[in-house]
């Protein structure tokens, strides 16, 4: 198995040159931040990811988690790694100091999360879900619930889960049947939830479940859903553990990938009802859960970035070592390492370009999230939040597709060996696929993009952001780094995005089926074009550093070459994505459903 090394130089470059780390450090609470501190944090995180988590990735895939006599057992080394993670303070990085967190920006936490996902995605799912629970409780829970649960969750002493999905409902949360009945100052929860990531395990003393349920007198549909804290073990007011709650894991799913992550079927209330505490107000649970879901969707996009990076490292290592066939462009009859073959280089550069672009997008979105949370001017907060809301479905949808595309190319580069499990390349492909499915399938992300994020201000945020990206044209025109083709492709891509946006906005008014038929390609169009804009900015920043003799010249030259490749090979996708977006629904809906 290829040794994993966190791409510290590219992470630091993306955070400082593209996401605006200096602007984030200047916000309230960032007084002690510096680029040197950021680099130090990344280096220490890289050591933990490479030294502790990465060696467990293939072990976890082979052993998986298992349910034995009502107890969920994680793979060898999993519990020790989790305890080391908590002791290192990694779980507390982005959270408020009020509850024991370190108060660092989400931009920093995002870069660290990428490392955890790249080193072992199945492991990283556990702290990822805990993070989402902390976010939801921090925003919406009462002071009593916060005091009782948040310090342990922030520290990582306890973990958290989200319980949304039910067998009959799937992604349609309006159809959930789990019930909550009032009983004094608490509620009794009964029902079954499926696909609960880390729904049970032995790594911590307690697990805090966030459960969506419906009161007997609740209005129908999504307006009648409430959110409850339902711990595995009850917690007294002073924070001490009490008796076991009425809930249990009844089975674990047998999955295509992420085998080490226990995906549980959870049963609540088999013996009278599980004890639950209401978060916020009754019938506002879905609104509260969206705080958790949006946080998780950013993290899922990062899963795609992490898997893409891990697959790239493994494929590049194999290509540098594997000797096969003569170089068809040379007269030398001797076989060469496959990295000399143009088609292998095409695949490797595609992997690299997509990985760097999706990383930059995730970091850019995380920085906007920091501005939305920390900026002293409410107007600036609102502007940043509008961009975050627009970008979250793109980060999740496009980022997760990048992970799958890169992992697939990694298998292809390995050839027949990639199809053999022992090489490890296939695991990345299997693990990556789930990111396109959970936390709302990518089709749901696309519908969210066109149905809510784009239209709620009449497209103003989208159009303003497109204009902002187009303003890079002047700098590209003056560049001396041979960026002419990148400039041409980016401006063409922005034109395609603008025209597709106008078309989608017009159809959401008078032909919503047309708009829905183009939604997924529209999301991909956004990712492709924003990725191109960020890669163009990276090339310009690298050119400036080269001219001023700052940084590693080989690294900076690679940034420019990768950006040019993105312009020549990835950005041209925008034209076809625009065509597919605006094709309309006529052909899509023409075939009778029985004919499929």
Burial 53-66 (b: 16+ CB within 10 A, else e): bbbbbbebbebbbe
CA angle 402–400–101, rounded 5-degree value: 125
Q: Which residues pair with 208 in a beta bridge?
A: 160, 231
Rounded Cα distance between 13 and 7, Å, is 10
Q: What is the CA radius of gyration of the chain?
A: 24
Catalytic position from the list 114, 135, 303, 439? 439
Cβ atoms within 10 Å of 297's Cβ, excluding its own: 24
Distance CA 94, CA 550 (A): 30
In this structure, what DSSP letter does residue 334 have? S
DSSP code of residue 27: S
| Terminal-to-terminal C-alpha distance of the chain | 42
Q: Is 173 exposed, middle or buried (0-12, 13-18, 19+ CB in 10 A)?
A: middle
C-alpha distances (whole Å) from 180 to each of 187, 214, 282 are 6, 6, 10
In 95-185, beta strands by DSSP E: 159-163, 179-183
**DSSP one-letter code for 214:** B
Q: Which uninterrupted H or E stretch holds 494?
A: helix 484-510
What count of Cα atoms within 13 Å lies in the side-chain half-sphere of residue 304? 36
Rounded (10°) angle between helices 342-374 and 106-140: 50
- Backbone CA torsion sign across 440, 446, 451, 456: positive
Cα distance between residue 422 and residue 467, in whole Å: 48
- For residue 68, list its beta bridge partners: 71
- Buried/exposed code over 390-410 (b: 16+ C-beta within 10 A; e: otherwise): bbbbbbbbbbbbbbbbbbbbb
Q: How far is it, in rounded angstroms, from Cα 540 to Cα 560?
A: 8
Specify whether 439 is catalytic: yes
Beta strands in 198-327 (DSSP E): 207-213, 226-231, 233-235, 241-244, 247-252, 263-268, 274-278, 323-326
- How far is it, in rounded angstroms, from Cα 395 to Cα 388? 10
Residues near 284 by beta carbon (within 8 Å), at least 6 away in sequence: 226, 227
What's the Cα-to-Cα distance from 588 to each of 443, 446, 512, 516, 521, rounded to whole Å? 15, 17, 14, 11, 14
Catalytic residues: 439
């Amino acid at each position: 198995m290829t040794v994993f090394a966190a791409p510290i130089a590219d992470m630091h470059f993306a955070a400082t040159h593209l996401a605006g780390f200096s602007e984030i450090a200047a916000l309230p609470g960032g007084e002690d931040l510096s680029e040197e501190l950021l680099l130090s944090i990344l280096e220490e995180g890289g050591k933990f990811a490479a030294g502790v988590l990465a060696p467990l990735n293939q072990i976890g895939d082979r052993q998986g988690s298992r349910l034995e006599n009502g107890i969920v057992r994680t793979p060898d080394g999993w519990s020790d790694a989790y305890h080391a993670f908590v002791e290192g303070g990694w779980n507390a990085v982005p959270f408020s100091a009020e509850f024991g967190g370190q108060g660092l920006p989400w931009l920093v936490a995002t870069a660290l999360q990428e490392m955890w996902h790249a080193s072992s995605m199945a492991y990283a799912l556990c702290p990822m879900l805990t993070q989402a629970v902390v976010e939801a409780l921090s925003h919406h829970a009462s002071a009593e619930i916060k005091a009782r649960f948040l310090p342990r969750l922030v520290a990582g002493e306890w973990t958290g889960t989200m319980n949304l999905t039910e067998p009959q409902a799937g992604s349609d949360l309006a159809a959930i049947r789990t019930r909550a009945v009032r009983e004094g100052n608490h509620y009794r929860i009964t029902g079954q939830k499926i696909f609960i990531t880390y729904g049970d395990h032995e790594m911590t003393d307690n697990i805090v479940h966030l459960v969506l349920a419906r009161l007997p007198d609740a209005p129908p549909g999504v307006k009648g859903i409430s959110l409850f804290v339902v711990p595995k073990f009850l917690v007294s007011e002073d924070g001490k553990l009490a008796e076991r709650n009425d809930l249990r894991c009844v089975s674990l799913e047998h999955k295509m990938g992420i085998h080490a992550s226990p995906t549980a079927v959870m049963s609540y209330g088999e013996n009278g009802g599980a004890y639950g505490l209401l978060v916020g107000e009754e019938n506002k649970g879905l609104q509260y859960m969206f705080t958790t879901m949006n946080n998780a969707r950013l993290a899922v996009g990062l899963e795609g970035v992490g898997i893409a990076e891990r697959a790239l490292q493994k494929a590049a290592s194999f290509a540098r070592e594997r000797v096969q066939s003569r170089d068809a462009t040379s007269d030398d009859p001797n076989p060469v390492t496959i990295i000399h073959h143009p088609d292998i280089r095409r695949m490797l550069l595609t992997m690299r370009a997509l990985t760097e672009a999706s990383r930059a997008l995730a970091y850019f979105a995380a920085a906007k999230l920091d501005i939305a949370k920390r900026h002293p001017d409410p107007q600036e907060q609102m502007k940043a939040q509008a961009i975050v809301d627009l970008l979250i479905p793109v980060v999740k949808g496009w980022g997760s597709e990048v992970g799958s595309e890169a992992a697939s190319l990694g298998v292809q580069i390995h050839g027949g060996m990639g199809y053999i499990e022992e090489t490890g390349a296939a695991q990345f492909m299997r693990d990556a696929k789930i990111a396109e499915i959970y936390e709302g399938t990518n089709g749901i992300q696309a519908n969210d993009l066109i149905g809510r994020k784009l239209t709620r201000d009449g497209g103003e945020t989208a159009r303003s952001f497109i204009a902002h990206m187009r303003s890079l044209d002047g700098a590209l025109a003056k560049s001396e780094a041979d960026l002419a083709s990148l400039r041409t492709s980016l401006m063409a891509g922005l034109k395609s995005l603008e025209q597709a946006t106008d078309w989608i906005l017009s159809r959401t008014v008078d032909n919503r089926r047309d708009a829905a038929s183009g939604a997924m390609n529209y999301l991909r169009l956004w990712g492709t074009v924003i990725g191109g804009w960020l890669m163009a900015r990276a090339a310009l920043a690298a050119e400036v550093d080269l001219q001023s003799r700052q940084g590693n010249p080989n690294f900076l030259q690679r940034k420019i070459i990768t950006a040019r490749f993105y312009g020549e090979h990835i950005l041209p996708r925008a034209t076809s994505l625009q065509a597919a977006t605006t094709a309309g629904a006529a052909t899509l809906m023409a075939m009778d459903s029985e004919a499929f």
